[in-house]
Amino acid sequence: PEIRLVIGGPALDQKYFEKLKRAAESFGVVNEVVFSGFIEQEELPMWFRDCDIYVDPTLYGMGYCFPCVEAAATGKPIVATKLLEDIGVVKDGFNGKIVGFRDAAQISSAVEELMSNPEMAERFSKNSLELAAKFDWKKTVEQTKNVYMVVTGK
């Protein structure tokens, strides 16, 4: 199928960024890979809206993964590592597929499965909207306040 890969965000590691560009060239897919660079906050909804599947193969803990939550809030099925399942922003078989760390074959397989199974993708999309609803700022503030009250005894 006609697929376009968007690698979103700035290049934090210029050597790795150049390696990705060379790989796209060597595989003959340079026209199918978009390196977005920095994306302004107000532009993010458009990028999420236009994608079919959000892939976040993160390796490092960083609290809640806001891009993953934002993708869920736009109803996207998600492919991510166990780390993002552990922090609660994606659930394997509910709103996404969990893949191994640095496992390109699993990532590819998960994306292919979602693309070839529109019913699963649609179910994951609906479930992403449901899961994202729990990341409401008012609820988060209230929960944080409750934790502080318990910890401080007030």
72-110: pLDDT as tens digits:
999 999 999 999 998 888 999 999 999 999 999 999 999
- Torsion (CA) 73, 79, 84, 90 in degrees, nearest 10: 50
Does 62 have pLDDT greater than 80?
no
Q: What is the mean pLDDT of residues 34-59?
A: 92
Assign 26 a pLDDT band (cuts: 50, 70, 90).
Answer: very high
Does 34 have pLDDT greater than 90?
yes
Phi first, then psi: what are they for 112, rounded to 5°?
A: -60, -40
Assign 9 a pLDDT band (cuts: 50, 70, 90).
Answer: confident
Contact of 47 with 39, CB cutoff 8 Å:
yes
Q: What is the mean pLDDT of residues 106-115?
A: 97
Query: Which 3 state secondary structure label does DSSP give 147?
Result: helix
What mean pLDDT, rounded, does the chain reach? 91
pLDDT of the residue at 138: 85
Nearest to 124 by CA among 137, 116, 114, 110: 114
Q: What is the mean pLDDT of residues 41-67?
A: 85
